[in-house]
Structure 1
């Protein structure tokens, strides 16, 4: 019996060298660093790399175009915020990238979970209304990618009349759509439109709960079997378990130092009273309150320290994707395989030392997971499927 899905590994590309423990250095757009990271991840065996969206950051499509030029096989997953440009314009932009990259483009739809961040780009819609707009945005986007004849669209947020374009993607039927969000509004859009639903690193029970909820929503649209699932985690590896945990403590000290330098050291009472606006960060904080280590090796130390990047902490570059798997490569591979058995087919793994960790993952982690998946299933595992 075959396994439910092959595994896909997603890395991370940034316009300059920076992380939660390392302030940005070098030029704003560091072409040499970006190229080195893209080539390193391709060589390490990553299938794609995510390029994030932020209102203060350089344009992700142009970063992706440079990374495509520097590589031959690495897929480019570009985060994109609906509402910033018209969906027909975005459709042409991403279709163009798909052609220039020989069919390696993918889009990560980020509707937005922080009002202040949205307003910096002139977006003053509330949370649920943003997801209602995203629903229409994706309808138009997919029509523009797939229709060869002119089409009209008449919605609450978008109206299009007679749109037709030559710029349709190489990939058929359209560019893969990655989508995340833990609120009820987000799950509804995901069930209707997403090819891959993206989740942050929660314990196994939380991931099983999310997968079931999204599949139930997708079933209402006849898409229960169409969805795949991605999980974002921050592996911290060591030659021994003790070495891995010692490194985790050093990383925690580094994050604490950055927050203190920015005068944003987490104050638990204040963080709890204000709290993050997005449901995904609230879920991570709730798990952090249950314990510092969950399941076999899921570590919530940085989540607790930063308040899952609520409020001003997010401005330091410390995002909500803060839970880590800590251990030897074999222990972390075991943890990833446990998620895979729940139905996770994509793993976004990003280190706190981005370039060095990407190389280490390619040497020690990715091959282990793939080798284990290539082994025949033991008889007792058949019941899981």
Structure 2
């Protein structure tokens, strides 16, 4: 099975542990963190979507200009850019990057956050809109004549794009969302379905459900997100984890927050908070305490241990069928460098050895 490692970049220094200062857009920081991922052996980096942050299209355009091998994943919320225009923008960026772009579709789980950009649709409506949006993107990218469309959310006539993605027939589509309607839309459109860092049993349940929902013979790959905490020894790794929690709580208190962040409206957030309430350690080293601190927002669970222990834990998820891992740290720049030195080479080595053993077993079984 293939193995793909994705990191994450921002337009300026960011941290859940310390207050950051400085401009909201810092090209030198984009250059530094992006090159650090490329040097560290990551396959791809994700530019996320926030209602207060720099535009991801332009962040990735800059990142592409300072790298040669690294691929890119653009988080995008349907609803704010017409799909006909989005198709052209995405095709342009894919051409600009030399075919290194993928699209991470996020429909939006928090009503209040959506309204910051003027979106007042309900959660269910947002996913119906995403369904229609993705159908239009692919029609625009593959049409051999101008197209008309009249749907629930979009209507246009004689739409056409001279520019098409460098990748044929279209960009890879990553998809996030854990609600029932999110899973249904993902089953129709996703090339890669993205999960947050839940335990093995919960992850297996979601994978089985998604596989059963995918129509026909279409193949669906899976991504699993985590924020590993690595130490020279297991003891040091757990000490580092507890220090991270203390620093995060101190930052919240410094900002005037008297308690931990409450769970959000998004189903993923609620699942992670519930997980932290059931126990802070699952499957030996999946640490959920930070999901409780951060209200389950974003990627907030961590595998804790030595590089080898974390790598072997990741391989257990690979054994379930996970082929993509989104890994980002708590201290982003030092953690990216550490992952590149210690975790990623070992993970690839162990995965290759595992694949060779699997092939050898299959050959011997066939010969008997």
TM-score for both structures, normalised by structure 2? 0.95
Alignment of 1:374 onto 2:324: no
Secondary structure of 2:91's partner?
helix
Q: Does the aligned pair in 1 maintain the 2:10–2:47 contact within 8 Å? A: yes
Map of 2:267 onto structure 1 = 279
Q: Does the aligned pair in 2 maintain the 1:47–1:74 contact within 8 Å? A: yes
Map of 1:363 onto structure 2 = 341
Aligned equivalents of 1:217, 1:258: Cα separation in 2: 42
Change (3 A) 1:359 1:164: same
Secondary structure of 1:41's partner?
helix
- Return the offset for 1:151: 1.5
- Kindly provide the CA deviation profile for residues 97-136 of structure 1, in whole angstroms up to 9, marking residues without a partner as x: 1111100111111100001100010100010110000000
Aligned equivalents of 1:175, 1:293: Cα separation in 2: 37
Alignment of 1:234 onto 2:227: yes
Secondary structure of 1:25's partner?
coil
Aligned equivalents of 2:219, 2:142: Cα separation in 1: 18
Q: Structure 2 residue aligned with 1:51, among 38, 44, 47?
A: 47
Change (3 A) 1:258 1:37: same
Map of 1:349 onto structure 2 = 327
Q: Structure 2 residue aligned with 1:196, among 192, 196, 208?
A: 192
Q: Structure 2 residue aligned with 1:321, among 296, 299, 302?
A: 299
Map of 1:38 onto structure 2 = 34
Aligned equivalents of 1:100, 1:139: Cα separation in 2: 23
- Return the offset for 1:259: 0.9
Provide structure 2 residue ranges, at least 5 long, that are not aligned to the other structure.
Answer: 363-368
- Return the offset for 1:171: 0.3
Alignment of 1:180 onto 2:156: no
- Return the offset for 1:150: 1.3
Map of 2:276 onto structure 1 = 288
Provide structure 1 residue ranges, at least 5 long, that are not aligned to the other structure.
Answer: 309-318
Q: Does the aligned pair in 2 maintain the 1:13–1:49 contact within 8 Å? A: yes
Q: Does the aligned pair in 1 maintain the 2:83–2:136 contact within 8 Å? A: yes
- CA RMSD across the alignment: 1.5
- Return the offset for 1:378: 5.6
Aligned equivalents of 2:62, 2:87: Cα separation in 1: 19
Q: Does the aligned pair in 1 maintain the 2:249–2:260 contact within 8 Å? A: no
Aligned residues: 360
Deviates more, 1:373-382 or 1:294-303: 373-382
TM-score for both structures, normalised by structure 1? 0.91
Alignment of 1:222 onto 2:210: no
- Return the offset for 1:267: 5.2
Map of 2:158 onto structure 1 = 162
Q: Does the aligned pair in 1 maintain the 2:148–2:157 contact within 8 Å? A: yes
Change (3 A) 1:379 1:167: closer
Map of 1:314 onto structure 2 = none
Aligned equivalents of 1:146, 1:379: Cα separation in 2: 38
